[in-house]
Structure 1
Amino acid sequence: MTHELKNIIKEYQQATLKGQECVLATVVALDGSSYRRPGVRMLILQDGHMVGAVSGGCVEKEVVRQAQSVFNDHTAKIMTYDGRYRLGCEGVLYILLEPFRPDLKYLEAFTGILKQRRGIKVTSYFEKKEASNKQFGSTIDFGDTVLPMHPNFEPGEGLELFKQEMEPCFKLFIIGAEHDAVQLNALASQIGWEVTIIAPPAEEKNILDFKGAHEFLGIVPEQFPIHSIDDRTAIVLMNHSYSKDLNYLMVLKETQPIYLGLLGPHSRREKLFNELLERSPELSFEFLDSIHGPAGLNLGAETPQEIAVAIIAEILSVKRKQDPIPLKDKKTGIHD
């Protein structure tokens, strides 16, 4: 969710340069089921342009229509959308529409939180019925300060609360710069992950070759930023070089990313592990067991694009602690 708010703020800053006002839409409650859950957001610009989505696409036009009153009177409101007869999702959405005008202090605090990779807490104040009220709205707790989504907002008493904790953006290190790395970056960036590409200093590529990437580092294995690995970090080794992968494994052997993937067949993996143990006899078997090699789920992937899908799917399954199965075989709800 953090990456969606990150994109919303980026678009808001561009909109203000053009003199456009903005309204923020947030799903704050749900009766039944829906395509997406409470906490999703979209930004509506005064010219009708939308950033993000609150559903699979059917709700958005109505949200834009309902937002017009907020543009006119600058008063937040709750709208409802009954999808039982239109979406087939068997749910009723309660969507908070509020003026979105974060000030400089808010923007600076948000930028700082992203850099520090700290979480934030969002609280939205509303009533679970269609109504307009200047005391409806949202605030963000940045840890050391709580700031509103628009200046001078003060929540009313006795309102319902929707509280959401938003973790730092998920981070992916791609070690390698070949065509399959380009495809993996494209997919990971599209779903909102912060991607860092790592390649040898002599590599004839740069960040312009990796659309959407957060960072490009031309470094040797010993310069890998170990300190930046946390429990929301995945690493995929895809150098197409046995020696380079071995050197990176030597550097990463004391780390604990949530996911460490290794491209290549089982035989290559075993050879790497054997040589790694020869160089570091004290190496724990837990580290070796934690490596996903060959990286990716068994989807029958063949092309670089398909391989990227298989790797992303496996990372998601590890991140969400899921045992991948067809949804048709799942006995509980999709999001349970």
Structure 2
Amino acid sequence: MNELKKIVHAYQATDFSQRKAALATVISVTGSSYRSPGARMYITDDGRWYGSISGGCLEGDALRKAREVMQTGVPRMVTYDTMDDENPTLGVSLGCNGIIHVLLEPIEEQNDPMAFMLKLYEQEDIDALATVYESENKQVQVANKWVFSNLTKKSQLTDIEKEIQQLLHQSIEHRRSGIQTVENTIGRYKVFLEVIEPPIHLMVFGGGYDAQPLVAMAKGLGWEVNVIDECAAHLIPVNFPEAQLTSCHRSKVSDHAAPKPYSAAVLISHNYYYDMEVMQQLLDTDIRYIGLLGPKKKGDKIKAELIEKGVEWNEDTTHRVHYPIGIDIGADTPEEIALSILAEIKAKFSGRSSGFLKYKTGPIHHKDPKSGEVFKQVYIHKSVRPAKNA
């Protein structure tokens, strides 16, 4: 989402009376690639670009082709075959061993793909976007788009929109992005169905010294951050630039810090009773991640006291609450601890168990076992217990 944020800001800053622009989107990947489907790059005709579609290998060629798209006003698909390391077409030996399909779209008043990106950027829950990238159907054009939340009044939909709505609904239902071929009496078309997740909303309870690198790193990832403390003296704006600051008593946390669908909470106050009361209130919400800073004994003691108070602590609660917090990377300084915590939160929301990738026996990205195509799997709203090598 940080990449989308940069793209949106660049788009909003573009003076279209002086500049032309295009949007490049990775539609599908077979084999291996640095980026997955859904990766984007915003390009202007003065040679600037924001975001990426690879590790820097394809951007130069995409920039040249994007300029052609800006001039013609016609979207086009571009295929990059990196299977052959000796292929000199791109001028580099990529070594990725994959086939990448990229859709290049001009940004014009009558056909503005960024309008959809702006809508998705403002979402606080999962949404889905459909993009046509190949068509033999007269009613469907390449680069046509639909957002799932737009397709609500079924009685007003065309047959094509009903088809798209059903596909988008299935994508959200299965929490999976991918490509789909649709064939009807008018003709065939192919559509990229993309599940879009909002940025993680991080609630940091405690505004002490060690909260500062945690907030700074989270903001660097493009996450939305709210720092909550009952001591107003801890909430110094210069210590937490761009973060939302909330001062409220521990007993009123649920009134002032309501979790969102993609929220994670970190209890970092170093105050045992504050942490316990905040945790009790958070357990009454559907927040999927609650992390408690401190030794295991502290977490065990809070758990025992909450159970004694009548708080239900079941298997789902165990998966939601994390203590000691973070991934074991040997963290010692506040900055290292922050890195450990954010890595665990990211792994939680990605449905991964973390660990060294060198020991992973399967592919890094999710792939369709039949086609070998890379797809994005979304795990939010589930108590995820990642499988071995997931």
For normalisation by structure 1, the TM-score amounts to 0.82
Q: Quick one: structure 1 residues 112 and 65, their matched pair in 2 at CA, closer, same or farther if it must change by over 3 Å?
A: closer
- Report the AA paired with residue 19 of structure 2: Q
Alignment-derived partner of residue 122 in structure 1: 129
Tell me which of 339, 342, 349 is aligned to 1:312: 342
- Report the AA paired with residue 136 of structure 1: V
TM superposition shift of 1:3: 4.9
- Answering whether residue 331 of structure 2 is matched by residue 332 of structure 1, we say no
Alignment-derived partner of residue 270 in structure 2: 240
Tell me which of 162, 165, 172 is aligned to 2:202: 172
Question: Secondary structure in 1 aligned to 2:274?
Answer: helix
Question: Secondary structure in 2 aligned to 1:137?
Answer: coil
Alignment-derived partner of residue 8 in structure 1: 7
Question: Secondary structure in 1 aligned to 2:3?
Answer: helix
1:107-146 superposed matches below 5 A: 117-127=124-134, 135-144=141-150
- Report the AA paired with residue 74 of structure 2: T
1:143-158 superposed matches below 5 A: 143-144=149-150, 158=188
- Answering whether residue 257 of structure 2 is matched by residue 257 of structure 1, we say no
Is the CA contact (8 Å cut-off) linking 1:190 and 1:212 kept in structure 2? no
CA–CA separation in structure 1 for the residues paired with 2:199 and 2:217 = 15
CA–CA separation in structure 2 for the residues paired with 1:158 and 1:292 = 49
- Report the AA paired with residue 225 of structure 2: V
Tell me which of 175, 187, 190 is aligned to 2:220: 190
| Higher RCO (Cα < 8 Å, 6 or more apart) | 2
TM superposition shift of 1:290: 3.7
CA–CA separation in structure 2 for the residues paired with 1:109 and 1:97 = 15
Alignment-derived partner of residue 99 in structure 1: 106
The one-character-per-residue Cα deviations of 1:251-283 (angstroms, maximum 9, x if unpaired) are 2232232111000112322333344345x2344
The one-character-per-residue Cα deviations of 1:75-117 (angstroms, maximum 9, x if unpaired) are 21222223232221101211111012478x9988876765562
Is the CA contact (8 Å cut-off) linking 2:299 and 2:324 kept in structure 1? yes
Q: Quick one: structure 1 residues 315 and 31, their matched pair in 2 at CA, closer, same or farther if it must change by over 3 Å?
A: same
Is the CA contact (8 Å cut-off) linking 1:109 and 1:142 kept in structure 2? no
Is the CA contact (8 Å cut-off) linking 2:254 and 2:282 kept in structure 1? no
- Report the AA paired with residue 177 of structure 1: G
TM superposition shift of 1:235: 0.6
Q: Judge which range, 317-326 or 302-311, deviates more.
A: 317-326
- Report the AA paired with residue 330 of structure 1: K
Question: Secondary structure in 1 aligned to 2:232?
Answer: coil
Alignment-derived partner of residue 162 in structure 2: none
Alignment-derived partner of residue 29 in structure 1: 28
- Answering whether residue 210 of structure 2 is matched by residue 203 of structure 1, we say no
Is the CA contact (8 Å cut-off) linking 2:291 and 2:323 kept in structure 1? yes
CA–CA separation in structure 2 for the residues paired with 1:281 and 1:102 = 59
Query: Once the two structures are aligned, what percentage of the paired residues are identical?
Result: 32
Alignment-derived partner of residue 281 in structure 1: 310
For normalisation by structure 2, the TM-score amounts to 0.72
Is the CA contact (8 Å cut-off) linking 2:23 and 2:43 kept in structure 1? yes
Question: Secondary structure in 2 aligned to 1:143?
Answer: helix
- Report the AA paired with residue 278 of structure 2: Y
Question: Secondary structure in 1 aligned to 2:328?
Answer: coil
CA–CA separation in structure 1 for the residues paired with 2:52 and 2:31 = 19
Alignment-derived partner of residue 62 in structure 2: 63
Question: Secondary structure in 1 aligned to 2:94?
Answer: coil
CA–CA separation in structure 2 for the residues paired with 1:34 and 1:113 = 25
Is the CA contact (8 Å cut-off) linking 2:7 and 2:41 kept in structure 1? yes
CA–CA separation in structure 1 for the residues paired with 2:116 and 2:28 = 27
Question: Secondary structure in 2 aligned to 1:96?
Answer: strand
TM superposition shift of 1:314: 1.5
Question: Secondary structure in 1 aligned to 2:344?
Answer: helix
Is the CA contact (8 Å cut-off) linking 2:105 and 2:113 kept in structure 1? no
Question: Secondary structure in 2 aligned to 1:224?
Answer: helix
Alignment-derived partner of residue 52 in structure 2: 53
TM superposition shift of 1:288: 5.8
Is the CA contact (8 Å cut-off) linking 1:110 and 1:142 kept in structure 2? no
Question: Secondary structure in 1 aligned to 2:277?
Answer: helix
Is the CA contact (8 Å cut-off) linking 2:107 and 2:114 kept in structure 1? no
Tell me how many residue pairs correspond in the alignment.
319
CA–CA separation in structure 2 for the residues paired with 1:292 and 1:208 = 29
The one-character-per-residue Cα deviations of 1:14-69 (angstroms, maximum 9, x if unpaired) are 11378433210001122321011111111112222211111112211221122111
Is the CA contact (8 Å cut-off) linking 1:120 and 1:140 kept in structure 2? no
Is the CA contact (8 Å cut-off) linking 1:26 and 1:54 kept in structure 2? yes
Alignment-derived partner of residue 151 in structure 1: none
Q: Quick one: structure 1 residues 207 and 60, their matched pair in 2 at CA, closer, same or farther if it must change by over 3 Å?
A: farther
Gap runs ≥5 in structure 2: 86-92, 153-185, 367-390
